[in-house]
Structure 1
Amino acid sequence: MAGFRLLWQIPAALLVLIFLLVFINEFATARPSQRTKDIPYVTADSPDFDADRHVLDVYQPRRKSAQLRPVVVFIHGGNWDSGSKNLYSFVGRRLARQEVVAVIINYRLSPAVRVPGMADDCARAVRWTSEHIAEFGGDPNRIFVMGHSAGGGLAALLAVDNSVFEKNGLARNPVKGAILDDPAGLDMFDYLKKMAYPGDKQYLVPFGKDTAVWRAMSALYQVNAQSPPMLIYTGSRTYPGIAGSTQKFHERLQQLGVKHGYKVLAGKKHVGMVTQLYWKNNLIYRELREFIKVKPGSGPEKRG
């Protein structure tokens, strides 16, 4: 409530100016991109089809290109029980502005499904992407996954666990790399065994009580020497569970010789790790462009 009282002390003209500047910035960001909304990635006749959750949005640069562009599939966070692609249009717009075809997905949430069902949904969304993204100017042979929080854990799992694609109709894992932004759930096997923090029992709803599932849904135990390269970021002020499991994941990648980058961003909390993606020249975007090999000088962002 104190925050609201402070807000009303700001002169009305200044508030109007702030909102106008935000609107102008968003318009300028959106203008070079085209969004196609609410595309189903599961057929309506599937027995588990969910019209609200089995959909995705595609953001593509308006400027035509003679070559297919790299693709980033973004998976939102939300504690495995909340969140929506609609909250992350700023990620789609900014990726498209940087000559990337972005796919922002929804997936079913707890308690409707548990994490294995969420992983299946994400794999089906990536399968749809591999089959259709060329229609939007994206390269099906250059698909990368990206996620924050719970979405980061799911993105990591897709990158390292080929079996989730095999069970969803793809003989080959199409993911060429992963960008993990303060990922949660990289080692839920250890986390749920310890139950070290108040409220940890809530995670038995999305993960269930079967320890084999905890392990199977933890990317730490699925990663192998053939896993694709990754960029991994965590905040220095994030939750201890995320900091600890991300460090363990980094060490495991080192042991296996998997190419990756790992950075702890000073002063960043968990939410700040994703809100920083609002800024077009954020460190993560800069390194992402190099990681996925965006053609130098091909987009507006390359002008600095």
Structure 2
Amino acid sequence: MFRMPTLFFRVLPAVLVLALLLAVATEYATARPSRRTQDLAYVPATDSAYHDQRHRLDVYAPKASSPALRPVVVFIHGGNWNSGSKNLYSFIGRRLAKQGVVAVIINYRLAPLVQVPQMADDCTRAVIWTANNITKYGGDPNRIFVMGHSAGGGLAALLAADNRLFARRGVAQNPVRGAILDDPAGLDMFDYLQKKQYAGDAQYLVSFGQKPEGWREVSALYHVTTQSPPFLVYVGGETYPSIQSSSERFRQKLTALGRAPGYRVLPGKNHIPMVLQLYWQHNIIYRELLAFVGLTPRPAG
């Protein structure tokens, strides 16, 4: 059954914010071998779409010098397409930087101000900014990966799968070299919104619009090809049926194309712990992510 429980998404933002605020508070009591450059604008203020808060990103770079440029991970937060902030995810930036990755944590505009196509365009522009500027922070513009949790996972998948997002911005080649999806939501909103089987489903039309062709356009499942970059997909064993079923269909589609993803179901984890586990440096997602981006993970301990 493919279902996004209405009550879950009403409760999620408040619960997630509380949990992440606790994680952020604890972050300041730990060693942070990284340097953060905060609130960089990735859209010029002269742009008609410019939003002073939502078109901002933070860069986390390792303090240790390196003779070579480092791989880059652009992280896209979740929040049901209508909430969330990069400021809650400093722990991810610092954990990645501690392990030798240059991390870029982004904001993007949210519903009801905009709909998902504009959110995807914002994320695209953040990746383009990264490709053009990340060498200043020790990052390799030829090794950019995207990562996201929940709604951010769906957006990350779309950036990796739909090259047209970059072509529309004048970038001939998609700079995304791979995607790490953490309990991704929205991989197949075309299927879900066609059915509208459950009370409250109409709320998603605020973010996704009224037209079925639009739902398909922003569903990554319909854009992956034999040329798509590699994916790592992590799904909570106790997460919501909507995420379980769409992630499995995504895996099947990629496998049929000869692009089988790394795919792991994490037993006992529901949706919120799937992102909170990223506070701990040696969890399975980081260990496999490091190999995925071309680094050797440090031994656990």
Q: TM-score if structure 2 supplies the norm length?
A: 0.90
Q: Structure 2: which amino acid aligns with 1:243?
A: Q
Once the two structures are superposed, the pairs formed by residues 93-132 of structure 1 within 5 Å of their partners are: 93-132=94-133
Once the two structures are superposed, the pairs formed by residues 157-172 of structure 1 within 5 Å of their partners are: 157-172=158-173
Once the two structures are superposed, the pairs formed by residues 96-245 of structure 1 within 5 Å of their partners are: 96-245=97-246
Q: Structure 1: which amino acid aligns with 2:82?
A: D
C-alpha contact 2:24 2:91 (8 A) present in aligned 1: no
Shift of 1:168: 1.6
Shift of 1:182: 0.3
Shift of 1:171: 1.0
The 1:117–1:138 alpha-carbon spacing in structure 2 relative to 1, beyond 3 Å, is same
C-alpha contact 2:27 2:91 (8 A) present in aligned 1: no
Q: Structure 2: which amino acid aligns with 1:103?
A: V
SS at match of 2:105: strand
C-alpha contact 2:251 2:260 (8 A) present in aligned 1: no
C-alpha contact 1:225 1:256 (8 A) present in aligned 2: yes
Q: What is the aligned-residue RMSD (CA, Å)?
A: 1.6
Moved over 2 A (4+): 21-29, 301-304
Provide the residue aligned with 1:91 in structure 2. Answer: 92
Shift of 1:236: 1.2
Distance in 1, Cα, partners of 2:26 & 2:239: 32
Provide the residue aligned with 1:28 in structure 2. Answer: 30
- Equivalenced residue count is 280
Provide the residue aligned with 1:10 in structure 2. Answer: none
The CA deviation string for residues 171-212 of structure 1, in whole angstroms up to 9 with x for no partner, is 110000000000000000000011123321110000001111
Residue identity (%): 61
Q: Structure 2: which amino acid aligns with 1:209?
A: Q
Distance in 2, Cα, partners of 1:272 & 1:198: 26
C-alpha contact 1:29 1:94 (8 A) present in aligned 2: no
Distance in 1, Cα, partners of 2:188 & 2:227: 19
Distance in 2, Cα, partners of 1:74 & 1:179: 9
Q: Structure 2: which amino acid aligns with 1:160?
A: A
SS at match of 2:294: coil
Structure possessing the higher relative contact order (Cα contacts under 8 Å, 6 or more residues apart): 2
Distance in 2, Cα, partners of 1:23 & 1:208: 37
Q: Structure 2: which amino acid aligns with 1:233?
A: Y
SS at match of 1:145: strand
Provide the residue aligned with 1:293 in structure 2. Answer: 294
Structure 2 gaps of 5+ residues are 1-21
SS at match of 1:28: coil
The CA deviation string for residues 64-122 of structure 1, in whole angstroms up to 9 with x for no partner, is 10100000000000000000000000000000000000000000000000000000000
Shift of 1:28: 3.2
Q: Structure 2: which amino acid aligns with 1:291?
A: F
The CA deviation string for residues 151-183 of structure 1, in whole angstroms up to 9 with x for no partner, is 000000000100001112211100000000000
Q: Structure 1: which amino acid aligns with 2:259?
A: V
